[in-house]
Chain A
Amino acid sequence: MTTKRLAALSGARDILPLVIGTTPFAIIFGTLAVSAGLPPLAAMALSIFVFAGSAQFIAINLLSGGAALPVIWLTTFVINLRHALYSATLQPVARDWPLPWRALTAFWLTDECFAVFERRLQTAGETNALPYYIGSALFFYTNWVCWTAIGALLGNQIPGLAALGLDFAMIATFAAMVAPQLKTSTPVCVAIAAGSVAWFAHALPYKLGLILAAMIGVLVGVILDFRRQRLSAASVVEAE
């Protein structure tokens, strides 16, 4: 076996825990999308083309709630903007890769694929980095798409699933993703601000309340960061 193939295989092996961990979410996504009234083809298209877990879950909510197209796109933009940081991190590594491979790398640049690749770069350096990434990302992507299809099939076959409260799966997942970050005062204030605005603005049309709440939450975070920096700068001056 060539070293390139070995690298691809070890990529697939390293991402296996994340493949297993995200499989339930792929199934829930497919089922939930269909139960919310989206055609199974739309659930598949979201996993095949967009391939971004949290944005896909929110899209169910927005698409079935009659959100306007710009709101859907803007929400996707805000939620996925962090991926630009991953893109910037990988830029020096991928500089000499041919354009089609760089584009494919970008297409698969999820939190999970980035996390596994980043660890590899730190432990093993850049040797066979591309085949390693392709091996891990291809495995992760194929698994996500396949289990979405199975979830969508389930949702289609068992029409009563929506009544079971599958919509709860999404908010439980989001709550579990946010909670561990609420350990210092700034994120707690961001959450309180975003949560209250979201409630008071929830009646706005086209789900505009969501964008408004997110923007005010981020603004609160920026203001608190700014204040802390000024306070620490001031205390440095005092100490001198």
Chain B
Amino acid sequence: MMSNTLWAAILGMFAVTFLIRASFLVFGQRLRFPPAVVQSLAHVPVAVLTAIVVPEAIAPGGQLQLSLANPYLIGTLVAGLIAWKTGRTLTAVMLSFIVFGVMRGLF
């Protein structure tokens, strides 16, 4: 069963997401974005995603593990490098998964 908090979290996420997407489409031309906001938006994906990835990669489970034997760290680097080189997200994820799986079996 789902708790009330969980429902509140999900319905709140729905409301926030829908209001953003409906902003101009539903509420029309009365809305204007200041240019500074538009420009800063460009940095959001990199900032948010990196902020999520780094702690999970260097410290899986909360314990700092800057070593070649850390499959999360090596796997993340592999995914990043392949995507950086080729621009193919799915290929990068699949290959990094293989590396991660092999390291999980080895160490």
Residues of A within 8 A of B (CB): 21, 24, 38-39, 41-42, 45-46, 49-52, 54-55, 58-59, 61, 63, 69, 72-73, 75-88, 90-91, 94-95, 99, 102-103, 105-107, 109, 164-165, 167-183, 186-187, 190-191, 193-199, 202, 209-210, 213-218, 220-222, 225
Closest B residue, CB atoms, query A108: B21
Residues from chain A with a CB closer than 8 A to the CB of B29 are 91
Whether A195 contacts B53 by the Cβ 8 Å rule is: yes
Distance (Å) between the CB of B2 and the closest chain A CB? Answer: 5
Distance (Å) between the CB of A52 and the closest chain B CB? Answer: 5
Distance (Å) between the CB of B102 and the closest chain A CB? Answer: 12
Looking at the complex, which one of B1, B54, B87, B92 makes contact with A198 (CB distance below 8 Å)?
Answer: B54
Distance (Å) between the CB of B69 and the closest chain A CB? Answer: 14
Whether B44 contacts A109 by the Cβ 8 Å rule is: no
Quick one: CB contact mask for B33-54 with A, threshold 8 Å, 1 for yes?
A: 1001011111111111111111
Question: Do A194 and B50 form a contact, CB below 8 Å, given A50-B14, A172-B75?
Answer: yes
Looking at the complex, which one of B17, B24, B31, B55 makes contact with A50 (CB distance below 8 Å)?
Answer: B17
Report Cα–Cα, A49/B10, bound state, in Å. Answer: 8
CB within 8 Å: A-B pair count: 269
Question: Do A87 and B24 form a contact, CB below 8 Å, given A77-B16, A79-B44, A199-B55?
Answer: yes
Whether A198 contacts B50 by the Cβ 8 Å rule is: yes
Q: Can you list 25 A-B pairs with a CB-CB distance of less than 8 A?
A: A50-B13, A50-B14, A55-B13, A63-B9, A69-B9, A78-B48, A84-B33, A87-B23, A105-B25, A106-B26, A165-B72, A173-B89, A175-B53, A175-B80, A176-B80, A179-B92, A183-B84, A194-B51, A199-B59, A213-B51, A214-B44, A220-B43, A221-B43, A221-B47, A222-B36
Whether A69 contacts B25 by the Cβ 8 Å rule is: no
* The 8 residue pairs across chains A and B that have the minimum distance between CB atoms: A217-B47, A221-B43, A213-B51, A195-B54, A176-B83, A198-B51, A106-B22, A179-B80
Report Cα–Cα, A171/B6, bound state, in Å. Answer: 23
Quick one: CB contact mask for B56-79 with A, threshold 8 Å, 1 for yes?
A: 111100100000000110011101
Distance (Å) between the CB of B89 and the closest chain A CB? Answer: 5
Most buried by B among A55, A90, A105, A195: A195
Whether a CB of chain A sits under 8 angstroms from the CB of B106 is no
Most buried by B among A80, A99, A164, A209: A80
Looking at the complex, which one of A88, A175, A197 makes contact with B79 (CB distance below 8 Å)?
Answer: A175
Distance (Å) between the CB of A190 and the closest chain B CB? Answer: 5
Whether A77 contacts B47 by the Cβ 8 Å rule is: no
Whether A178 contacts B5 by the Cβ 8 Å rule is: no
Question: Do A171 and B72 form a contact, CB below 8 Å, given A39-B2, A210-B51, A217-B50?
Answer: yes
Residues from chain A with a CB closer than 8 A to the CB of B36 are 222
